[in-house]
Structure 1
Amino acid sequence: MGRWGHRMFEGDRDFDLLGDLQQHVGMKEKWEYSMAEMVMTGLSAEKKKYVREKFDVDNYGDTLFANCKAKEGEWEGKYCTIILGTVLMSVGARISSQNMKHLRKLAGEVQCNPGFTLCLFDDGFRAPGRAQFLAALDHYQPGKPRNFLDLSCFYCGKTGEDTGNPMFKCGKCKVSWYCDKDCQRGHWKYHKSECAPPGSRWMLNV
């Protein structure tokens, strides 16, 4: 199916990497929940706490980061490290300041497309997904899970929980979301080529 949206986990490739992540980082233990469940299925607070404690014991999350970073020279290796970061943030696991800096650095190095592009070149982020990831880093707090399914601003990446205000949808295309009018105006130069009423655009949000 490819991508059906612009943010993280709105495309098949992100799910594929989630599914492969345990093997990629060398997790041989049998875990009760898959990486995909940790990010996508909204585990209860109690279950997230349980998973978080498993990541935090003996700095196991740092071990997984080290294993992932050692493979960043492989195809999509850097993006795999970013996916690992989303898993840890999704349950509120501890991430060292060094690894937080590394994740921010990778976000600037991984390919990022402003919007629709041919599938052959559609690796890594789309711009709203990178903004979403950077906002997650900015608002990261150990012990506080980050929900990557929450609506996020296509320009700054913040969620309604970050701003204290609900997101609003572009009135014309009904696809892009923003936290305020300033972000909508800031995103317009990227969004205008794809902004068309539903039913009149051809796969622009895929």
Structure 2
Amino acid sequence: MGRWGPGLFACDRDLDLADALVVEISGVEDGPENDVLSCFGGGSTIYDREGKAVDGSSILEGLREKLDAGLGDSLIDKYRNLVTATKDGWAKHESKYKSVLLAAVIMGTGAKIRDHDLQYLRQLGSEVESNERQFLVALDNYEPDTCGKTHQDTGKDLVKCGGCWSAWFCDKGCERRAWSVHRNDCDGSGTRGL
């Protein structure tokens, strides 16, 4: 998926809200999981409390599994219910914005998002100030089960799917891990997306 562009989810308020969501996902106030989630899945090497380098990709994979096991769906449902239940205009807007931030955090891990939730998030993206265009493009191009790493993260060129030539992966291993989901979109013609 890549990184969010300049100005999107970069102000202090966004980071504070995202930090609270990160604690909900990781289940701890502070730790390497929080660091990985706080940079929306972008950190390949992070440091634990003792200052030792830790491989962020294995932590990211564990978080993705946790979200795919139902936590992601339940959190999206929780914030959707908050939006529905809230009557106050500002609190309703805040709940909508938290839902958009939650989606960004989940997408940063490569976890699955249900189709009807993607539709709901598209609707919210146009209702809140989230740099709507960039958020909607990210939703439209979102591929779960991919790591979201870019050349900037790995120092290597991305690998294009040999079947459809429209999906990109950080390496062949990433492509293999994503195949169970990507095969539904891959037509194998080598011309899709051209």
Query: Shorter-chain TM-score: which interval?
Result: 0.5 to 0.7
Taking the aligned partners of 1:92 and 1:28, their CA distance within structure 2 comes to 15
Using the TM superposition, give the Cα deviation of residue 40 of structure 1 relative to its aligned residue in structure 2, in angstroms: 6.2
> Is 2:116 the partner of 1:98?
yes
Q: Separation in 2 of the partners of 1:49 and 1:16?
A: 24
Unpaired runs of at least 5, structure 2 = 45-55, 153-159, 161-165, 169-194
Post-superposition offset of 1:86: 0.4
Once superposed, what is the RMSD of the aligned Cα atoms?
3.1
Higher helix share: 2
Q: Report the counterpart of residue 94 of structure 2 in structure 1.
A: 76
Partner Cα distance (1:142, 1:163) in 2: 12
Which 4+ stretches in 1 moved above 4 angstroms? 161-164
Matched, 1:136 2:138: yes
Query: In the TM superposition, what whole-angstrom CA distance separates every residue of 1:11-58 from its partner, at most 9, and x where no partner exists?
Result: 1121011122256xx66833851275351651433221111001111x
TM-score (norm 1): 0.53
Offset at residue 60 of structure 1 (A): 1.7
Unpaired stretches in structure 1, ≥5 consecutive residues: 111-123, 151-160, 165-206
List per-residue Cα deviations over 1:185-206 (Å, max 9, x = no partner). xxxxxxxxxxxxxxxxxxxxxx
SS of the equivalent of 1:134 reads helix
TM-score, normalising length: structure 2: 0.56
Post-superposition offset of 1:6? 5.2
Residue in structure 2 matched with residue 30 of structure 1 by the alignment: 28
Change (3 A) 1:38 1:28: closer
Alignment partners' CA distance in 1, 2:74 and 2:82: 13
Structure 1 contact 38–48 (Cα < 8 Å) conserved: no
Paired residues, what number? 130
Identity %: 29
